[in-house]
Amino acid sequence: MLDAVVISQAIDFIEDNLRENIAVADVADAVSYSLYYFCRAFNQVTHLTPYDYLIRRRLAMAARALLETDRKVIDVALDYQFNNPETFSRAFKRVFGTSPSGWRKRGRLDEWDLMPRLTLAHLEHIAKGDYLKPVPVTQEAVRVAGVMTWVQERRRSVSDLWHLLADILVRREIAHMPGAYYGISMRASQEMGGFLYLAAVELAEGEIGDAALVVKEIPALGCVRFVHKGPGWDLPLTLDYVYHTWLPKSGLRPSVPWTIEQSERNFCHLDEAPSERAVYVPVDRQ
Protein backbone atom coordinates (compact mmCIF):
# COMPACT_ATOMS: atom_id res chain seq x y z
CA MET A 1 0.00 0.00 0.00
CA LEU A 2 3.06 2.28 -0.04
CA ASP A 3 2.32 3.56 -3.54
CA ALA A 4 -1.29 4.31 -2.57
CA VAL A 5 -0.13 6.48 0.33
CA VAL A 6 2.38 8.32 -1.85
CA ILE A 7 -0.14 8.78 -4.67
CA SER A 8 -2.60 10.14 -2.10
CA GLN A 9 0.06 12.69 -1.13
CA ALA A 10 0.53 13.52 -4.82
CA ILE A 11 -3.22 14.07 -5.15
CA ASP A 12 -3.09 16.42 -2.15
CA PHE A 13 -0.41 18.43 -4.00
CA ILE A 14 -2.54 18.53 -7.16
CA GLU A 15 -5.62 19.64 -5.24
CA ASP A 16 -3.69 22.40 -3.49
CA ASN A 17 -2.45 23.68 -6.84
CA LEU A 18 -5.38 23.33 -9.24
CA ARG A 19 -5.24 27.06 -9.95
CA GLU A 20 -1.46 27.16 -10.26
CA ASN A 21 0.73 26.59 -13.32
CA ILE A 22 1.98 23.11 -12.43
CA ALA A 23 2.96 20.19 -14.65
CA VAL A 24 3.03 16.45 -13.98
CA ALA A 25 6.79 16.69 -13.38
CA ASP A 26 6.13 19.11 -10.51
CA VAL A 27 3.80 16.59 -8.90
CA ALA A 28 6.40 13.83 -9.26
CA ASP A 29 9.01 16.09 -7.66
CA ALA A 30 6.66 16.84 -4.76
CA VAL A 31 6.64 13.15 -3.77
CA SER A 32 10.30 12.52 -4.72
CA TYR A 33 9.51 10.07 -7.55
CA SER A 34 11.09 10.05 -10.98
CA LEU A 35 8.66 11.20 -13.66
CA TYR A 36 8.60 7.77 -15.29
CA TYR A 37 7.99 5.85 -12.07
CA PHE A 38 5.45 8.41 -10.83
CA CYS A 39 3.31 8.19 -13.99
CA ARG A 40 3.44 4.40 -13.87
CA ALA A 41 2.55 4.23 -10.16
CA PHE A 42 -0.24 6.83 -10.48
CA ASN A 43 -1.87 4.90 -13.31
CA GLN A 44 -1.63 1.58 -11.46
CA VAL A 45 -3.17 3.03 -8.30
CA THR A 46 -5.90 5.25 -9.78
CA HIS A 47 -6.41 3.77 -13.29
CA LEU A 48 -5.93 7.35 -14.56
CA THR A 49 -2.91 9.21 -15.84
CA PRO A 50 -1.76 12.13 -13.68
CA TYR A 51 -2.54 14.53 -16.52
CA ASP A 52 -6.09 13.15 -16.91
CA TYR A 53 -6.73 13.58 -13.20
CA LEU A 54 -5.33 17.12 -13.15
CA ILE A 55 -7.42 18.24 -16.14
CA ARG A 56 -10.60 16.50 -15.00
CA ARG A 57 -10.36 18.07 -11.55
CA ARG A 58 -9.67 21.52 -13.00
CA LEU A 59 -12.72 21.14 -15.22
CA ALA A 60 -14.86 19.99 -12.29
CA MET A 61 -13.89 23.02 -10.24
CA ALA A 62 -14.38 25.32 -13.23
CA ALA A 63 -17.84 23.83 -13.79
CA ARG A 64 -18.71 24.51 -10.16
CA ALA A 65 -17.43 28.09 -10.41
CA LEU A 66 -19.55 28.76 -13.50
CA LEU A 67 -22.69 27.99 -11.50
CA GLU A 68 -21.69 29.37 -8.12
CA THR A 69 -20.12 32.67 -9.22
CA ASP A 70 -20.83 35.37 -11.79
CA ARG A 71 -17.27 35.42 -13.12
CA LYS A 72 -16.91 35.57 -16.90
CA VAL A 73 -16.28 32.28 -18.68
CA ILE A 74 -12.85 33.45 -19.84
CA ASP A 75 -11.89 34.42 -16.28
CA VAL A 76 -12.94 31.02 -14.94
CA ALA A 77 -10.89 29.36 -17.68
CA LEU A 78 -7.85 31.42 -16.74
CA ASP A 79 -8.38 30.65 -13.04
CA TYR A 80 -7.85 26.97 -13.82
CA GLN A 81 -4.91 27.38 -16.21
CA PHE A 82 -6.82 27.13 -19.50
CA ASN A 83 -5.12 30.01 -21.28
CA ASN A 84 -6.89 29.43 -24.60
CA PRO A 85 -10.71 29.88 -24.59
CA GLU A 86 -11.13 27.41 -27.45
CA THR A 87 -9.08 24.75 -25.64
CA PHE A 88 -11.19 25.27 -22.51
CA SER A 89 -14.45 25.05 -24.48
CA ARG A 90 -13.40 21.85 -26.29
CA ALA A 91 -12.22 20.16 -23.10
CA PHE A 92 -15.34 21.25 -21.24
CA LYS A 93 -17.70 19.96 -23.94
CA ARG A 94 -15.84 16.64 -24.15
CA VAL A 95 -16.39 16.04 -20.42
CA PHE A 96 -19.79 17.63 -19.80
CA GLY A 97 -21.45 17.37 -23.21
CA THR A 98 -22.13 21.10 -23.45
CA SER A 99 -20.26 24.37 -23.75
CA PRO A 100 -19.32 26.40 -20.65
CA SER A 101 -22.04 28.94 -21.48
CA GLY A 102 -24.58 26.16 -22.03
CA TRP A 103 -23.64 24.65 -18.67
CA ARG A 104 -24.16 28.01 -16.96
CA LYS A 105 -27.57 28.46 -18.63
CA ARG A 106 -28.62 25.05 -17.29
CA GLY A 107 -28.28 26.60 -13.86
CA ARG A 108 -28.18 23.35 -11.90
CA LEU A 109 -25.23 21.70 -10.20
CA ASP A 110 -25.36 17.92 -10.29
CA GLU A 111 -22.56 16.36 -8.21
CA TRP A 112 -22.84 13.17 -10.31
CA ASP A 113 -21.31 15.10 -13.22
CA LEU A 114 -18.18 16.23 -11.39
CA MET A 115 -14.99 14.23 -11.00
CA PRO A 116 -14.55 13.95 -7.22
CA ARG A 117 -11.32 14.44 -5.36
CA LEU A 118 -9.83 10.97 -4.95
CA THR A 119 -9.14 10.10 -1.32
CA LEU A 120 -6.96 7.41 0.18
CA ALA A 121 -10.20 5.44 0.72
CA HIS A 122 -10.83 5.54 -3.05
CA LEU A 123 -7.31 4.29 -3.77
CA GLU A 124 -7.50 1.48 -1.22
CA HIS A 125 -10.89 0.44 -2.62
CA ILE A 126 -9.54 0.21 -6.18
CA ALA A 127 -6.63 -1.91 -4.90
CA LYS A 128 -8.85 -4.55 -3.25
CA GLY A 129 -9.07 -6.75 -6.32
CA ASP A 130 -10.30 -7.20 -9.87
CA TYR A 131 -13.99 -7.34 -8.91
CA LEU A 132 -14.37 -3.87 -10.42
CA LYS A 133 -13.80 -5.44 -13.83
CA PRO A 134 -16.83 -4.62 -16.07
CA VAL A 135 -18.93 -7.43 -17.58
CA PRO A 136 -21.41 -6.61 -20.42
CA VAL A 137 -24.83 -8.16 -19.67
CA THR A 138 -28.51 -7.79 -20.46
CA GLN A 139 -30.54 -6.97 -17.37
CA GLU A 140 -33.85 -8.77 -17.91
CA ALA A 141 -37.15 -6.94 -17.47
CA VAL A 142 -38.49 -7.16 -13.92
CA ARG A 143 -41.34 -5.75 -11.80
CA VAL A 144 -40.44 -4.58 -8.33
CA ALA A 145 -42.30 -3.11 -5.35
CA GLY A 146 -40.77 -1.05 -2.59
CA VAL A 147 -40.38 2.29 -0.86
CA MET A 148 -38.81 5.40 -2.35
CA THR A 149 -37.42 8.71 -1.12
CA TRP A 150 -35.26 11.62 -2.22
CA VAL A 151 -31.72 11.11 -0.94
CA GLN A 152 -29.22 13.83 -0.11
CA GLU A 153 -26.98 11.85 2.27
CA ARG A 154 -26.72 8.27 1.10
CA ARG A 155 -25.30 6.45 4.12
CA ARG A 156 -28.13 7.30 6.51
CA SER A 157 -31.09 7.69 4.14
CA VAL A 158 -30.60 4.51 2.11
CA SER A 159 -30.02 2.32 5.17
CA ASP A 160 -33.15 3.74 6.83
CA LEU A 161 -35.17 3.03 3.68
CA TRP A 162 -34.14 -0.63 3.61
CA HIS A 163 -35.08 -1.06 7.25
CA LEU A 164 -38.45 0.59 6.56
CA LEU A 165 -39.09 -1.86 3.70
CA ALA A 166 -38.18 -4.81 5.94
CA ASP A 167 -40.62 -3.57 8.61
CA ILE A 168 -43.43 -3.20 6.05
CA LEU A 169 -42.88 -6.71 4.70
CA VAL A 170 -42.99 -8.16 8.21
CA ARG A 171 -46.00 -6.12 9.41
CA ARG A 172 -48.09 -6.90 6.35
CA GLU A 173 -47.05 -10.55 6.34
CA ILE A 174 -46.33 -10.45 2.62
CA ALA A 175 -46.06 -14.12 1.88
CA HIS A 176 -43.94 -14.36 -1.24
CA MET A 177 -40.21 -14.86 -1.08
CA PRO A 178 -38.68 -12.35 -3.51
CA GLY A 179 -36.35 -13.66 -6.15
CA ALA A 180 -34.08 -10.70 -5.57
CA TYR A 181 -33.78 -7.34 -3.89
CA TYR A 182 -33.18 -4.22 -5.97
CA GLY A 183 -31.85 -0.81 -5.03
CA ILE A 184 -32.42 1.70 -7.83
CA SER A 185 -30.84 5.16 -7.83
CA MET A 186 -32.57 7.56 -10.22
CA ARG A 187 -31.14 10.94 -11.07
CA ALA A 188 -33.85 13.55 -11.53
CA SER A 189 -34.09 17.29 -12.18
CA GLN A 190 -33.64 18.76 -8.75
CA GLU A 191 -32.10 22.14 -7.98
CA MET A 192 -29.92 20.96 -5.11
CA GLY A 193 -28.74 17.62 -6.47
CA GLY A 194 -29.27 14.23 -4.85
CA PHE A 195 -31.26 11.37 -6.32
CA LEU A 196 -34.38 9.27 -5.93
CA TYR A 197 -33.75 5.86 -4.38
CA LEU A 198 -36.11 2.88 -4.55
CA ALA A 199 -35.55 0.00 -2.14
CA ALA A 200 -37.56 -2.87 -3.59
CA VAL A 201 -38.25 -6.58 -3.87
CA GLU A 202 -38.94 -8.49 -7.06
CA LEU A 203 -42.59 -9.33 -7.73
CA ALA A 204 -43.55 -12.78 -8.93
CA GLU A 205 -45.31 -12.98 -12.30
CA GLY A 206 -48.89 -11.79 -11.96
CA GLU A 207 -48.39 -10.51 -8.42
CA ILE A 208 -50.08 -7.16 -7.78
CA GLY A 209 -47.97 -5.95 -4.88
CA ASP A 210 -49.17 -4.01 -1.86
CA ALA A 211 -50.87 -0.62 -1.51
CA ALA A 212 -48.10 0.58 0.82
CA LEU A 213 -45.43 -0.02 -1.82
CA VAL A 214 -44.38 1.73 -5.04
CA VAL A 215 -44.53 -0.62 -8.04
CA LYS A 216 -42.08 -0.03 -10.89
CA GLU A 217 -41.45 -1.83 -14.17
CA ILE A 218 -37.77 -2.08 -15.07
CA PRO A 219 -37.42 -2.78 -18.80
CA ALA A 220 -34.77 -5.03 -20.28
CA LEU A 221 -31.58 -2.99 -20.49
CA GLY A 222 -28.13 -3.40 -21.96
CA CYS A 223 -25.85 -2.93 -18.98
CA VAL A 224 -22.34 -3.26 -17.70
CA ARG A 225 -22.18 -5.19 -14.43
CA PHE A 226 -19.70 -4.55 -11.65
CA VAL A 227 -19.48 -6.31 -8.29
CA HIS A 228 -19.32 -4.24 -5.12
CA LYS A 229 -17.69 -6.07 -2.22
CA GLY A 230 -17.89 -4.46 1.19
CA PRO A 231 -20.43 -2.60 3.30
CA GLY A 232 -23.19 -0.59 1.68
CA TRP A 233 -21.78 2.67 2.93
CA ASP A 234 -18.69 2.01 0.77
CA LEU A 235 -20.76 1.80 -2.43
CA PRO A 236 -20.09 5.45 -3.42
CA LEU A 237 -16.42 4.47 -3.82
CA THR A 238 -17.42 1.88 -6.43
CA LEU A 239 -19.79 4.33 -8.15
CA ASP A 240 -17.11 7.03 -8.26
CA TYR A 241 -14.80 4.56 -9.98
CA VAL A 242 -17.46 3.43 -12.46
CA TYR A 243 -18.76 6.87 -13.44
CA HIS A 244 -15.62 8.99 -13.22
CA THR A 245 -12.74 6.62 -14.03
CA TRP A 246 -14.03 3.70 -16.09
CA LEU A 247 -16.98 5.18 -18.01
CA PRO A 248 -15.20 8.23 -19.54
CA LYS A 249 -12.59 5.89 -21.10
CA SER A 250 -15.06 3.20 -22.21
CA GLY A 251 -16.64 4.77 -25.30
CA LEU A 252 -20.02 4.24 -23.61
CA ARG A 253 -22.52 6.56 -21.96
CA PRO A 254 -25.44 6.01 -19.57
CA SER A 255 -28.57 5.15 -21.54
CA VAL A 256 -30.90 6.04 -18.66
CA PRO A 257 -30.05 7.96 -15.47
CA TRP A 258 -30.28 4.89 -13.23
CA THR A 259 -27.91 2.71 -11.28
CA ILE A 260 -29.31 -0.69 -10.31
CA GLU A 261 -28.05 -2.70 -7.33
CA GLN A 262 -29.12 -6.32 -7.00
CA SER A 263 -28.71 -8.99 -4.31
CA GLU A 264 -30.37 -12.20 -3.21
CA ARG A 265 -30.33 -10.88 0.37
CA ASN A 266 -32.21 -7.98 1.93
CA PHE A 267 -29.91 -4.97 1.84
CA CYS A 268 -30.49 -4.52 5.58
CA HIS A 269 -28.00 -7.36 5.95
CA LEU A 270 -25.45 -5.81 3.58
CA ASP A 271 -24.56 -2.80 5.72
CA GLU A 272 -21.52 -4.50 7.19
CA ALA A 273 -18.62 -6.31 5.49
CA PRO A 274 -18.22 -8.90 4.20
CA SER A 275 -21.06 -8.55 1.71
CA GLU A 276 -21.50 -8.46 -2.03
CA ARG A 277 -23.94 -6.97 -4.52
CA ALA A 278 -24.11 -6.61 -8.29
CA VAL A 279 -24.15 -3.08 -9.69
CA TYR A 280 -25.71 -2.61 -13.15
CA VAL A 281 -25.06 0.54 -15.19
CA PRO A 282 -27.35 0.87 -18.24
CA VAL A 283 -25.23 2.01 -21.20
CA ASP A 284 -25.15 2.52 -24.93
CA ARG A 285 -22.52 3.65 -27.42
CA GLN A 286 -21.60 7.32 -27.68
Give the pLDDT confidence of 44-61 residue by residue, as tens digits.
999 999 999 999 999 999
**68-72, 117-121, 142-146, 167-171: range with lowest mean pLDDT:** 167-171
**pLDDT-derived band of residue 273, with 50, 70 and 90 as boundaries?**
low
* pLDDT at site 56: 97
What pTM was estimated for this model as a whole? 0.89
Evaluate whether 121 touches 237 at the Cβ level (below 8 Å). yes
> What sign does the CA torsion over 5, 10, 13, 15 have?
negative
Determine the straight-line distance between the first and last CA of the chain, rounded to whole angstroms.
36
Give the pLDDT confidence of 83-111 residue by residue, as tens digits.
999 999 999 999 998 999 999 998 877 77
Residue 262 confidence (pLDDT) above 90: yes
User: CA–CA distance from 112 to each of 73, 175, 195, 245 (Å)?
Assistant: 22, 38, 9, 13
As a whole number of angstroms, the distance between CA 12 and CA 5 comes to 11
Instruction: Look up the CATH number of domain 132-285.
Output: 3.20.80.10
Give the relative orientation of helices 2-16 and 35-46 as an angle to the nearest 10 degrees.
Answer: 100
Q: What residue ranges do the domains of the chain occupy?
A: 2-127, 132-285
* pLDDT at site 274: 66
Share of the chain above pLDDT 70, in %: 89
Instruction: Look up the CATH number of domain 2-127.
Output: 1.10.10.60
Mean pLDDT of 236-253: 92
More confident site: 176 or 21: 21
Evaluate whether 130 touches 241 at the Cβ level (below 8 Å). no
Give the pLDDT confidence of 145-194 residue by residue, as tens digits.
999 998 876 667 888 888 888 888 877 665 555 678 999 999 865 455 67
